[in-house]
Amino acid sequence: MATSQESQPAWGKFIGVGVGPGDPELITIKAQRVLQQVPVLCVPKSREEGDSYVLSFVSHLIDLERQALIELVFPMTKDRARLEEHWSAALVKVVAHLREGQDVAFVTEGDPFIYSTFMHIYALVRARYPEAPVEVIPGISSINAAAAAAGLPLVDGAERLAVLPATYEGERLEEVLRQFDTIVLLKVNRVFERVLASLSKLGLAERAVYVKRCGSPEQEIVRDIGELRGQELDYLSLIIVRK
């Protein structure tokens, strides 16, 4: 069996590494250690010719003379078939290293299990290569970071928190706004006018705070969200409604 073990090394570990919202100090000791140690890192980016946003805030931790970097392209599209092609292509690249016994860290903004591309590759690795060990290192999500930056407590005592994409139609969104104590609306950029209308209708516009690219140098906090009307908003922005 020794021969077979020699020709077939143990699988490397696939590690999802949450690196927080963008402030290089809001990364955990564990994520920092893993990023410095792993032989292979992969980072997502939205266009072949573009740069990876998440790479920009961990590049000081990695050493490309010693570590391999794989840039994985995941276009910003809702076309499921096209996304699946990209997920499959990413899977092939990741698995090639895992199979050779190399640990692969997939770097994700925020937390790996909150609206990340990592989740799809993770699901594929688990389903198709159950022999590969996996690990997920949680990160500071943009939700916790935005609340902290804005000085807005999220939930206390018997309160309830809802987190959802703001892209829901009026009625479904308003139902949640009515029922919960604190509501975090993600992906607000394309539907802002509609969200503002719902908030105003429920008398909640004044209880809402807009946070853009929390933790990064471009961070912006807007407490009078009416000011944002007609502006082009960043896709990395969210609204916290605290009753």
Binding site for a second copy (CB under 8 A): 16, 18, 20, 23-30, 32-33, 111-116, 119-120, 122-123, 126, 134, 136-141, 144-145, 147-149, 151-165, 167-168, 176, 180
Q: Is 117 helix (H, G, I), strand (E, B) or coil?
A: coil
- The alpha carbon dihedral of 182, 173, 196, 76 has a sign of positive
Nearest distance from residue 8's CB to a second copy, in Å?
Answer: 25
Nearest distance from residue 141's CB to a second copy, in Å?
Answer: 6
Nearest distance from residue 158's CB to a second copy, in Å?
Answer: 6
Q: Which is nearer to a second copy, 96 or 155 (CB)?
A: 155
Euclidean distance between CA atoms 135 and 13, whole angstroms:
7
Q: Which is nearer to a second copy, 164 or 233 (CB)?
A: 164
Burial class (CB within 10 angstroms; exposed 0-12, middle 13-18, buried 19+) of 113: middle
Strand order across the 104-108 sheet: 68-73, 40-45, 104-108, 14-18, 134-137
Q: Which is nearer to a second copy, 106 or 180 (CB)?
A: 180
Tokens of 209: 């705070």
Nearest distance from residue 207's CB to a second copy, in Å?
Answer: 16
Q: Which is nearer to a second copy, 40 or 137 (CB)?
A: 137
Cβ atoms of residues 117 and 52 within 8 Å: no
